[in-house]
Each structure stands twice: as structure tokens, then as C-alpha cells.
Structure 1
Amino acid sequence: MKNTHTISQISKMSLLGASISLALSGHAFAQDAAEEDNNSNIEAITVTATKRSQVIYEVPIAISAFNGEALAAQGVTDLTDVGKFVPNLNVTGFSAGHTSSANPFIRGIGLQDHLITTDPGVSVYVDGVYLGRQVGQNWNLNNIERIEVLRGPQGTLYGRNSIGGAINIITKQPDEVAVTKLNVEAGTRGRKKADIFLNREITPELAFNLNAGYNARDGIGEFINVPDAEYDVGETKELYGRLSVRYAPSDDFSLVLTADKNDGEGGLRPYQVLIDEVPTGAYYTGGRFGGTFENGPLRNADTTADPYDNATGSRDVTTVTNEASGISLTADWNWNDDFASKVVVSSRSSEYKAGLDDDGTVYTIDQFPELGEADQTSVEFQINGFLGDADFVSGLYWFEEEGSNYQMPGTAGSTDGAFFNEGPTLLALDQETTSKAVFINVGYDVSDALRVSGGLRYTKDEKEASADIWIDGEDGPTDATKPQFASDKWDEVSFDLSANYTFDSGINVYGSIQNGYQSGQFPARPYCMFTSRSCFVATENITAVNYELGVKGEVTDNFSMSVAVFNTEFEDLPYQVSTTAVGGFNTVNLVVEQTSRGVEFEGTLTLTDNFKVHTSLGYMDVDVDEKDGVKPVAPLTPDLTASISPMFEYPLASGATIKARVDYSFRDEMYGEPTSDAGRQTLLDSRELVNFDISYVAASEDWTVSLYGRNVFDERYDNARLNTGDYILQILSNDASEFGLRYRRDF
């Protein structure tokens, strides 16, 4: 049971409830202004969540869709921002202190750790290509056609690692329309951003588009003991680009070749070390594992007065970098009116440098610079089509990933890059993953109103892993390392079954059973292996079964809504639990059975032709079975999520338009790790964030100037909290208030 809300929190939530009751609506199905069509003020966005083009109301799953043209107006610049406006979605970032990480949690399922031996529970796809790793990708949302957030297990069509849900990012494809768009943004906290998008037809068969940009923002604190640090705490800058070329020699065949790259660097994410000042705490007593600290006991006074400053004395951990690149080829071939095929081939690589100074002081005690890299290759082949009143999507899938993570002890005098030539390796993880799958999903129109669909997917996974770490033997630590090797195989059949009925009014009612699968995982930091060698063993298959009922559609010409009620049962779900060890953490898998149940509400209310309100509301109750006499909790999972977004348009006599919107987002308090023990102090406070955007759109509609504010009340909040036993790592948000101007020009 969570701690009781304070009086101020209760009053805030009462205000929130009143606002939702007044709005009588939920978050947008489509995020931009809709043109009137057949006396309706609601735009029904088309999605491809089921790998078919369908109007969002017809898809028998809980889904939120964001139209790319309005993402900037809502203050959405990355996946973290998307997580502020979708019910029961929380996106956090804390991996090794990196500023580019984005870890989505949907309905209580996500990724607690970033190391190569752990897999996410929410899959992220870009144009059909699965992103195996999310640290270092830092995907910019500037050439986006649409973002779809699918809630609940998606194991049949999206495969492994989607037991919580999937996020589908669809970019703008090359076509014959000549487009040039320029965006320039400048604001407080040193915001500098420029982005250009080009789309051109070269010949009737050949077209391309190009998106390129630069984005930078100043830091939020200082490295008080490293005056020559290249960046401040939380500072970011990044270059990115994406080129797509489409060749379509006929209406029935097309090839799209896409290449993308991003290169970013900056300062370590803000975090605070809270030393456990109790007689048994190692930092408090000044030693552990039979040894003493050179500088004696530590106190919280040895860290920083301002939690957004950093007191490390090691330059090694002040800078973070990320780089990712990829190339993909998509071929679409319509054989005839009834059958078509699609092939998506992709190769991607990513790498990052990050790491934390765990003690958070100037002393050289627990400093762990880290490098990570991953290379992946994937191929998906689909055959899709129609057989009478039935339609089907089928295919074969192959995925291979090779990745590694390395940690070395940082020193006060070393410079960037040099630490990997100094001292013993504290952690060296390598893993190769191969996944193969075959799937089919069939839909059948029983009548004009009733549609049923079902699918099966067979997946076979294999992992080979090695861990090379600093030995913690019976007589204490040594400078030797000794690798351990392990491998395992898994296979699983995933399924889904759904039915949806459309009434004459257009309201759609659906019911579904969805199954998800994730292969087992090796421990992230198996420091226990040298005293208990059996600990470097993978978990069993992770499975999820979701039962869901929903109603969605246009209730009236000016009101659309979606309601979903769900119950999801997870088996063999691993939570990552960390305690202090010689090399920093010993992270083990706590395997649990979990049941998540809840309700989600979204919709759009058009009060007048010029005034709309969007809101979202999600409530979850998560029950985790008792494990070894302890009652765990789902980490980083708020009970309540909500948002309200009123939008107003005011036409001027000149033909120009003033557009204004405010976006309010609420995330309830949640635990940073799988324990609710009050003594571990890992409860994260609730947070309320407010953005606004006021835009002047010229009468010609070819240029817009906007005044924006993000996190306008400067809400400071925690992204995560981890209690190692000796100290608490309080990972802080990099989300301070920002105000600025944005200019957009279409040529």
C-alpha cells in the first residue's frame, strides 16, 4: 500500500477530477485540427497497428495515435514527452546516467536496466524496424507522420519483447509533392534548434526526402569539483539526419531505401546520492568488504547542497556520448488485387559512453565509467491478402543482435577515453541473441457489423552470454578477472483472438485476448557468480495473457471517445534488484507472478468550431504475488495517469489565425524499485507538468511563429530511485522549465 497523499496532493487531484468531469472527454485520437467531413468535427486517424490500414476506431486494441504535424505544438520532442499524454504510460530515463535513454513502461511493464543481458518489455518500432536497444538512439520526432502507442501484449504481430505493449513510429515517406519545411527554435536554458525537411520528386518513378537538424540545450547544474568539465550537468547537443529514397516503377511495386544517423554528447544526467547514515551503512562507517575508505566515513554533507550539481572528482564520468546509425530497405509488391508481399531488411548499430560516480563525492571510491554498444540485423517477409470475406497478414521474421557493456574504475586524474587502459575490468558483458519467428493473423467479416480475427506466432530464441568481472572471492576482492559463459534456448507460441462489432451509430465494441512472450534473461550484474556460480543462469520464458473489453468511436458529431478495461496476467516476470558489490552493483533477477488490471479513457470533445478539449485518464491496480516472504511492487508504475489539453483557434480579419493550447499532464506517485518498504525510501512523488503553445499562422499558411513554454512551473521530479543498501541513487529529471520562440516556414 502506498503512502497516503498529502492534503495538497488531494486538492490537486480533486481539481484534476473536476476538470475531467467538466471536459467530458479524453486525449486526442488525432492531435491536429480536423476538417469537417459529413457534419463531423472529429478526424478519424488511420493507423497500421495491426499491419493493416484501419481507422483507429476499428482496431480491437487500446491504442493512442499522435499526428506528426501537431507534435511540436504539444511540446512533444521525444519519446519521454509522449509518455506524458498516454494513459497508463510512463517514460523514464536513467540508464547509466545517460541523457538519451528513454525507457517506456506500459501498464506496469518496461525496462529497469539497460545492460545487454536485459530486454525491454515494450518494443519500439520505426517504419517496421525493431529497435533492440534504446540507450543512445535518442530518436528525434521531426519527420514523423504518426506515432502509435499500443497498450497490452502484442506478441502475435510485434513478436518478442512486447509483453507490455508496442510503440510504432511511422516517418514521412517520399512522394511526388514538393515540400520544404524549415523549423528554427530558440529559448531559455540555451535552447538552440534548427531542422529542415525536404521532399522532392526526381522522376515520376523516383523521389526522396531528407530530414536533418541540430538540437542543443544548456545544463541544469555544475560539476563543482571538475572545473574543466567539457559540459555542465544535463547539457545536451546532437546532430541528426535521415534520408529516404523511393523507387516505384509501377503502381504495384516500390522500394524504399532509408539511412539515418545521430551523434550526440553532453553532460551526465542529474542525480543525487543519499547516503544511508545508519551504523550499518558502509559509507557511514567508512569501509566495506573488510577494507576501509582512504578518506574515511562519508556523510551527505560530502555531496552537494543543490541536488542538480554534482560533486564527483572524476572527469571520466562527466561526459556522456551517444551515436546510432542504421540502414533499411523496404520492398512492397502487389501481385494482384488480392495478394501482396512486403520485405523489410535492416541493419542498425548504436554505442554510448556514460557511467556514474556512485558515491557522489570528490573521493575515488565507486566511480564506474561505462561503454555500451549493440549491432543488430533483422529481416521480415510478409505475404498479405484477401480470401473472400477474410483478410490475412502472415510472415517470417529473423533478428540477430550482438552487444556488450564494459565498466572500468574511474580515477580522479584520468581523461576521457583513458580509463579503459587503466586498472582491472569491473564488468564485461557480451551477448549474442538470435530470434526466429513465423506468424499469421486472419480477420473475417462475419457481417457488415461483426468482424472476428485471430493470430498465432511461433518464436524460437537463443542467447549466448559471457560475463567477465572483478572476482569477489572468499578472501575478499582481487585484481583478477575470470569469464563465465552461459547459453540458453526458448520457444513459445503466442496467440490473440478478438471480435469487434460496429453499431449503426458508428460506435465500436470489442473484446480481445492477447498473448505476449519474452525470452528469459541473464542477470545484469552477476557479481555473485564467484561465490555462487549458479547465479549466472537465465530466467524462464516470460509470458503475458491480457483480457480486454473496449468501446470506441464517435458518440456524436463533436464527441469521440475510447474506453478500455483490462486484466493482464504475467508469469515468470523478472524484476532487477541491486545491492552493493565490489564492482558497484550486484543485480539479480527477482522472478514474480504479476496481475495488472485497470481502465483507460480517451477522447475528443469539440465545444465549438474553434474550441476543443482532449483528456486522458488511466487507472491501474497491480498485484504481485508474495516472494520469499516479501510482497514486491511493480516499479515505476503510477496508479493514476491523466492529461487535459484545451485548444483554441481565433481567426483574424486578415485571414491569419491565432492558435493556443495548454497541455496538463499528471503522473501519480510510484516506487523506483520492486519494494514498498518505507525504510528503503524509494517512493517517487507525483508530478504535474504544464506546457503551452501560442501560434500565429499567416493567412497564406506558409509560415508560423510560436511562443512556447515547457514545464512552465518548473516541476522538478525523480525519474527513478535505487537503494543499494549503502546509499540511494536518486535519478533526477532533466526536465526544467523552458520558454522560447519557434519559427516554421513552408516553401
Structure 2
Amino acid sequence: MSKQKIQIKHSSRGKLTVLSTAIAFAMSGQVFAQNQEPEEKALDIESITVTAAKRSQVIYEVPIAISAFNGDALAAQGITDLTDVGKFVPNLNVTGFSAGHTSSANPFIRGIGLQDHLITTDPGVSVYVDGVYLGRQVGQNWNLNNIERIEVLRGPQGTLYGRNSIGGAINIITKQPDEVAVTKIGVEVGTRGRTKADLFVNRELTDSLSFNFNAGYNARDGLGDFINVQDAEYDVGETKEFYGRLSVRYVSSDDFSLVLTADHNDGEGGLRPYQTLIDEVPTGAYYTGMRFGSPTPTGPLRNSDTTEDPYDSATGSKEVTTVSNQASGISLTADWNWSDTLSSRAIVSRRTSEYKAGLDDDGTNFFLDQFPEIGEADQTSIEFQLNGYIGEVDFVSGLYWFKEEGSNLQAEGSAFNAGPNLLDLDQETTSQAIFANVGYDVNDDLRVSGGLRYSKDEKKASADVGIGPVFAQDSWNEVSFDLSANYTLENNMNVYASIQNGYQSGQFPARPYCLFGDITCFVASENITAINYEVGLKGMVTSTFSMSVALFNTEFDDLPYQVSTTAEGGFNTTNLVVSQTSRGVEWESTWKATESFTLHTSFGYIDVDVDEQNGVKPVAPLTPELTASISPSYEVELDNGGSIVARVDYSFRGEMYGEPTADPGRQTLIDSRELVNFTVSYSPASEDWTLSLYGRNVFDERYDNARLNTGDYILQILSNDASEFGLRYRMTF
């Protein structure tokens, strides 16, 4: 659900002193503030906003595991998308698959995410931008410019964030229009053909009307060639995109404001790098998809029929070499302050997204398994909140309505609707909810809170895999809850305990190969439920060292894994419904060793146990056991008043399985990966511009994003994240 932006007031708690402000910035390990003396930080307490629980809370008082990133620091560090953010949050893994599209970003938090991109599958981690839920990630390709803050909430968030947050939620908050006149320009050039430029303008037009505008262009060369398509428009993994966002704010009085926002992006590029590992497959398995006059194999397919360099592509089908994405949205947010203790908010939004992608599954020049694909989704949402205080009790309540209509169409070869479509999938989803959360300050040190949410979902879907359409509909409802307590210790450390409940509606199979009129294979799963037990400790251990640690145990019931096998004409994707228990520990810290040297660290460990299915024990897909990051930075003050800041970011992701089986024979174990970035920046005494030398993935680590064994071959989805070095210039005036 949306997160209402509430300015922190001077707390009535006696312990919110100068030290509390330092805690608020350092907590969650990744809130990167400017290096300041503790006395200067005290001035920042009123500007701190916490929106994770839709109420006024200093970040270290929020009784959940949360990481927060400051937008200006993200820009200085060169983090531009959710994939980059995922490298520095414990137990967060962001992968890309989605029919070979380069724009997809599928976040997994604590082992829960999105294995497939088709309209009948829902994400387990919800992503919000200024309170608007993004139902689909393919086609969005959200650029992290004009960002005030990013919050990553780990664990089920079913009370305040709704049905698709059983793993967690990612909340992106943009900079809102205000009276401060500012213009920011950024330019970045580098190896691998990196060309990037962005502009941000904020202006006040009248005492009651202001706006901000953000626009940019981002392009990067590919990693390989389409060796059998001489007229391919793009190289493998090449990307380019235009994007823009306009917000207008009208304030009629201190008690009422309106914000109208519109955004659009338009991207295009080459198919994501991937490789088909064949070993040896009889060609009879592929003959169904062949056409007269196309290249035909003379014997079994072998790895030698693909490419020696896995970042090249041997496909002979031009139709799958280009991917594209478009997304646009408009939203209206209205805020009322009815009194000093009562306020309300309404958010109305409309979003559309579409993409073109597709894979050549055999990965050869033979015309066998080429599957160009298009998809689209339209969503409308309305939310109304009523929030306030009654004495020591505060409350957040609301109503929510969401509707999504989407489709995926996969054709044989080049022409959609010219021959038998291999997949024609449509779904309409309607979701309604009512929620409330109440908090009570028992005393200056102890706070307790609890919430309830009632959700009702209905889905109507149809699927045609070329052998006849099937239709189905189903509905689900659930009551979610959460309970929490947090206590401020004498040393200002904060200890908390929480029970979080989450819910997700059932899902229809993504690619059901049903005989004509047979609906038995197109049946949705049951409600997906999650309950999380968590304890944590966060705060300032000393005046120069802050930390947060969380221990959790989460139990999931009726959780569907997507399992794909080859069928006549394409994939057959079914739901493997499991019960899963996840337990682990998460650590984040910030240590200011000296006035010049600061060290940020994060560490996540998760152990996932899945109940046996017919004597076979599945594993959680795309879930590394270990994640970690270390980020030292050092600042040198120059005689001319300027400064040089050097920063290194190291991130580690452990090995993981690409699908829900640990069978070594299926070869879907993905190796661990280690990435190193660096930035060296110079700023003059005026601090109105910064010039940075940067390096991304400086050791050119090549790694897998996903692996899928279909029974006939293995799809190895490769990263598009090669080494890159360049210069970045940012100016503010």
C-alpha cells in the first residue's frame, strides 16, 4: 500500500536527543548521510521521514528489518536501478530473466520473489513508487533518478502493504515539488559505450503552485554478436532508453495539497545474453516447430551448434534479437489535515506497460524453437487513508481497490496471428482491501502496535497453447495481521519483537498444455499465507558505531514454485505447491572510524527447508544462502576547501539453484559471484559540482542470473553486468 510521508516532529520521548539523530541516519546500515559532527546532525532531526509503517517514526524505532538508501548518495555512488540496490541489502537478490528482456528486475527477499513473468504469476515482493503499486516489472525498467529515498522492508508486510508482499516490500519515494529553486544536471560517459545524461528541475511558480521535472537518456553497448543475423539492429545485451517524469503540486492552504504526477519510459535494445546447454538432443523433439525452407539439422543437436563465446548468440531468427519496453503512468495524490490530530490521503493512479521480447530456446541457427513474445498490462488503483492520534494512541487505516488486465502472446516464428500462436494468455484481477493499524506508547520507552487487513481477490483467466482455449476464474479472501513491540534501552539501543502475517492470492499455471475443453490442468492454487516471527536489536553501540541485527523464522503454506518442462510446441509450466520454512539472520552496520574514514557492512544468512513432495525434497529457487557487502569510504579535505572522496563497494552473493530441485544431474546450481565497484570524486569548496571516476564490476565477473532445465536442454541466463569504467559529472545550480 502507499506510504504517507509524514515529517518527524520533536518526539515526546526524552531519549530522542542529539544522539538519536545520529542513530536515525546510521540505522539500517545503508542510510548514507554526509560526514558531519554529531552536533551538526542534531539539526537534521525534523527533516527525517519514516514511511515504512505510514506513521511518524525515527527509522531505528520501526519494529521490522528495514534498509534505507538516501537518493543523493545513490546518485553519487552511481546506483541507477533495483539490481544495483540488491547488491547491498542482506537477503535481497535481484535477478533478470523474463523472456530474455534486459529491463526486467525480479527482487527476491528472504527466498520469496517472482520466478516467471507471465500475467498469471504474481510477485512475492511488492514495489511501490510514491504509494503506487507496480504490478509488473517487465516493461517498467524504473530508473532511480529524482529519488528522495528507497526503503527495503524484509519479511511479510501483509497488513499495510497488501497481498503481494509475503517476502517484503520495496518503497521508492521521489522528490516532491517545493519552493526551493534547484537545477541538477548529470552526465556520464564510459567504456562499453556508456552514454548517460539526466536533468532535474524544481521550481515554485506561485505561492501555491510548484513543479519538478526529471528527464534522461541512458545507453550502453552489448556484450556479444548475433553471428547468424547480419542485419540485427542491436548487439546482444545492448540497451538504450529515454525516460521522463513531471510532478505538479498545488497547496491551497496548510491543510490541503494536491500532487499530479505523470511519467513515461521508452526502451529498446538487444536480447539479454543467454546460452542453451544442449549436450545432445534428438532433433525429433523439435520437428513440430520447423517450417519448410528453413535450415534443418542433419543429426542430434549438440553444444557445438551454439556459440563458443556464451555472450554471442547463434540464433537465426531476427524476430527474437530485439527487445523493447514502454511504460507510462499518471497519479493524483490529495492530502487533507482535518485537525492537528487527524489527516487523510487519497491516491488514484493509472498505469500501462508493454514489452516485446522472446527466446530462441534451441539457441542455434536452425528454425526449431523460436518464440517471439509480446505482453502488456493495464492497472488502476484507488486508495483512501484516514490517519491520526488520540492521546497516546495513533492509528493508520484505509480502503484499497486495484484492477489489472494483462496478456501475453507468444508466436511461432516471426508473425503474430499469422499462424498458430504457441501461447495466448489473458487475465483480469480485481483486489479489494480494508486495513487498520493501531499503535500505543505505553510509556517513554515501550511501544506496542497491531494491525488487521481483510483482502478479497478475484481472477478471471484464459489460456490457449495452440490446442484449444481454456477458461477459469477463482476468488480468494484472507485476514492478515501483525503484532509488534519495541523498547528503548537505557543506552538508546532499541530492541523489538514482531509477528507479521502475509497473504497472496492463488495463481493459475503460466503455460498450461490442456486438451481442448479440458480445464483440469488450468486450476489456481490455494491462498498463499506466511507468518514471520522476528526479533531485532538496532541503535548506536557507541557514538561512532551503529548496527542492526534481526533474527527471523518464516513459515509459508501453499507456496507455488513454477516448474517448466518441454512440451509439443513449447514450455509446459505448472505450479509445484509446497510448504516452506525460512530462518536466518541479517546484519547491517555503519562505523565512523575517524573524521575521514567510514565503513558500511551488511550480511545475510538464510536457511530454507521445504517439505518433501512425493519423496523428493525441493529447494527454494534463486535463493542464495549468503549475501554480504563491505563499503569503505575515505574523505580528504584539500587546502583549497575542496574534497576528494574515495569509495569501494564489495558485494557477495552465494551459490543458489535456478529451479526447485537440487538434483546434480539437472545442472541448475548457479555459482557464487563477487562484484567490486569504486568511485573517486572531487568536489570544490562550493560543492556545486562533482567530478567522479568510477568503475563497475572492475574485475569483469561474469555470472548467471538464472538456470532452467526443461528436460531436453538447459537455459543459462547470463548477467548483462560486465566491467565498465568512466567519468561522471554532476552539477547543481
TM range (shorter): over 0.9
Q: Is the CA contact (8 Å cut-off) linking 2:290 and 2:368 kept in structure 1? A: no
Task: Give the share of equivalent positions with the same residue, in percent.
Answer: 77
Which of 570, 581, 585 pairs up with 2:567?
581
SS of equivalent residue, structure 1 residue 73 = helix
| Structure-1 residue corresponding to 2:548 | 562
SS of equivalent residue, structure 2 residue 496 = strand
1:613 offset after TM fit, Å? 0.1
Which of 362, 365, 369 pairs up with 1:366?
369
Q: For the structure 1 residues 725 and 423, does the alpha-carbon distance in structure 2 shift closer, same or farther, using more than 3 Å as the test?
A: same
SS of equivalent residue, structure 1 residue 743 = strand
Q: For the structure 1 residues 536 and 286, does the alpha-carbon distance in structure 2 shift closer, same or farther, using more than 3 Å as the test?
A: closer
SS of equivalent residue, structure 1 residue 159 = coil
| Structure-2 residue corresponding to 1:325 | 328
SS of equivalent residue, structure 1 residue 203 = coil
1:61 offset after TM fit, Å? 0.1
State the distance in 2 between where 1:82 and 1:339 align.
Answer: 35
1:264 offset after TM fit, Å? 0.2
Q: Which moves more between the two structures, 44-53 or 433-442?
A: 44-53
Q: Is the CA contact (8 Å cut-off) linking 1:276 and 1:726 kept in structure 2? A: no
Residue type of the partner of 2:614? D
SS of equivalent residue, structure 1 residue 534 = coil
Which of 382, 401, 404 pairs up with 2:404?
401
Task: State whether structure 2 residue 639 is matched by structure 1 residue 639.
Answer: no
SS of equivalent residue, structure 1 residue 134 = coil
What are the Cα deviations for residues 552-608 of structure 1, in whole angstroms up to 9, with x where unaligned?
011111111000000000000000000001232100000000000000000100000
State the distance in 2 between where 1:224 and 1:38 align.
Answer: 62
1:252 offset after TM fit, Å? 1.1
What are the Cα deviations for residues 70-110 of structure 1, in whole angstroms up to 9, with x where unaligned?
11333311000111000000000010000000000000000
Task: State whether structure 2 residue 418 is matched by structure 1 residue 422.
Answer: yes
Task: State whether structure 2 residue 15 is matched by structure 1 residue 37.
Answer: no
| Structure-2 residue corresponding to 1:464 | 460
| Structure-1 residue corresponding to 2:297 | 295
TM-score (structure 1 length as normaliser) = 0.92
| Structure-2 residue corresponding to 1:507 | 493
State the distance in 2 between where 1:550 and 1:34 align.
Answer: 27
State the distance in 2 between where 1:230 and 1:593 align.
Answer: 46
1:528 offset after TM fit, Å? 3.9
Task: State whether structure 2 residue 445 is matched by structure 1 residue 444.
Answer: no
Which of 265, 275, 278 pairs up with 1:275?
278
Residue type of the partner of 2:89? V
What are the Cα deviations for residues 447-484 of structure 1, in whole angstroms up to 9, with x where unaligned?
0000000000000000000002212xxxxxxxxxx211
SS of equivalent residue, structure 2 residue 38 = coil
Which of 51, 73, 77 pairs up with 1:74?
77
Residue type of the partner of 1:492? E
Task: State whether structure 2 residue 221 is matched by structure 1 residue 225.
Answer: no
What are the Cα deviations for residues 30-88 of structure 1, in whole angstroms up to 9, with x where unaligned?
12324223487998853210012321100000000000001133331100011100000
Q: For the structure 1 residues 286 and 522, does the alpha-carbon distance in structure 2 shift closer, same or farther, using more than 3 Å as the test?
A: closer
Residue type of the partner of 1:30? V
| Structure-1 residue corresponding to 2:469 | 483
| Structure-2 residue corresponding to 1:434 | 430
State the distance in 1 between where 2:557 and 2:626 align.
Answer: 24
Q: For the structure 1 residues 427 and 47, does the alpha-carbon distance in structure 2 shift closer, same or farther, using more than 3 Å as the test?
A: same
Question: Where does structure 2 lack aligned partners over 5 or more consecutive residues?
Answer: 1-25
Q: How does 1:158-237 map to 2 (within 5 A)?
A: 158-237=161-240
Q: Is the CA contact (8 Å cut-off) linking 1:282 and 1:288 kept in structure 2? A: no
| Structure-1 residue corresponding to 2:9 | none
Residue type of the partner of 2:355? Y
Task: State whether structure 2 residue 656 is matched by structure 1 residue 670.
Answer: yes
Q: Is the CA contact (8 Å cut-off) linking 2:677 and 2:695 kept in structure 1? A: yes
What are the Cα deviations for residues 683-733 of structure 1, in whole angstroms up to 9, with x where unaligned?
000000000000000111101100000000000000000000000000000
State the distance in 2 between where 1:599 and 1:88 align.
Answer: 9
| Structure-1 residue corresponding to 2:10 | none
State the distance in 2 between where 1:291 and 1:731 align.
Answer: 24
Q: Which moves more between the two structures, 578-587 or 388-397?
A: 578-587
State the distance in 1 between where 2:346 and 2:75 align.
Answer: 32
Q: Is the CA contact (8 Å cut-off) linking 1:394 and 1:440 kept in structure 2? A: yes
Question: Where does structure 1 lack aligned partners over 5 or more consecutive residues?
Answer: 1-24, 412-418, 472-481
Task: State whether structure 2 residue 101 is matched by structure 1 residue 98.
Answer: yes
What are the Cα deviations for residues 369-391 of structure 1, in whole angstroms up to 9, with x where unaligned?
00000000000000000011000
| Structure-2 residue corresponding to 1:627 | 613
SS of equivalent residue, structure 2 residue 205 = strand
Q: How does 1:536-615 map to 2 (within 5 A)?
A: 536-615=522-601
State the distance in 2 between where 1:254 and 1:505 align.
Answer: 40
Q: Is the CA contact (8 Å cut-off) linking 1:42 and 1:557 kept in structure 2? A: no
State the distance in 2 between where 1:432 and 1:740 align.
Answer: 45
State the distance in 2 between where 1:378 and 1:274 align.
Answer: 43
SS of equivalent residue, structure 2 residue 99 = helix
Q: Is the CA contact (8 Å cut-off) linking 1:35 and 1:41 kept in structure 2? A: no
Q: Is the CA contact (8 Å cut-off) linking 1:544 and 1:570 kept in structure 2? A: yes
Task: State whether structure 2 residue 240 is matched by structure 1 residue 240.
Answer: no
Q: For the structure 1 residues 364 and 651, does the alpha-carbon distance in structure 2 shift closer, same or farther, using more than 3 Å as the test?
A: same
Q: Which moves more between the two structures, 575-584 or 36-45?
A: 36-45
State the distance in 2 between where 1:42 and 1:629 align.
Answer: 61
Q: Is the CA contact (8 Å cut-off) linking 1:433 and 1:461 kept in structure 2? A: yes
SS of equivalent residue, structure 1 residue 132 = coil
State the distance in 2 between where 1:50 and 1:367 align.
Answer: 46
Which of 134, 139, 157 pairs up with 2:137?
134
Task: State whether structure 2 residue 483 is matched by structure 1 residue 497.
Answer: yes
1:530 offset after TM fit, Å? 4.8
Q: For the structure 1 residues 453 and 26, does the alpha-carbon distance in structure 2 shift closer, same or farther, using more than 3 Å as the test?
A: closer
Q: Is the CA contact (8 Å cut-off) linking 2:287 and 2:368 kept in structure 1? A: no
State the distance in 2 between where 1:371 and 1:288 align.
Answer: 24
Residue type of the partner of 2:732? D
Residue type of the partner of 1:125? Y
State the distance in 2 between where 1:196 and 1:460 align.
Answer: 42
Q: For the structure 1 residues 43 and 148, does the alpha-carbon distance in structure 2 shift closer, same or farther, using more than 3 Å as the test?
A: farther
Q: Is the CA contact (8 Å cut-off) linking 2:534 and 2:550 kept in structure 1? A: yes
State the distance in 1 between where 2:313 and 2:185 align.
Answer: 37
Q: What value does the CA root-mean-square deviation take over the aligned residues?
A: 1.7
Q: Is the CA contact (8 Å cut-off) linking 2:27 and 2:539 kept in structure 1? A: no
Task: State whether structure 2 residue 733 is matched by structure 1 residue 732.
Answer: no
Q: Is the CA contact (8 Å cut-off) linking 1:26 and 1:644 kept in structure 2? A: no
Count of residues in correspondence between the two structures:
702
1:289 offset after TM fit, Å? 7.6
| Structure-2 residue corresponding to 1:122 | 125
Q: Is the CA contact (8 Å cut-off) linking 2:264 and 2:329 kept in structure 1? A: yes
Q: For the structure 1 residues 41 and 555, does the alpha-carbon distance in structure 2 shift closer, same or farther, using more than 3 Å as the test?
A: farther
State the distance in 2 between where 1:74 and 1:722 align.
Answer: 33
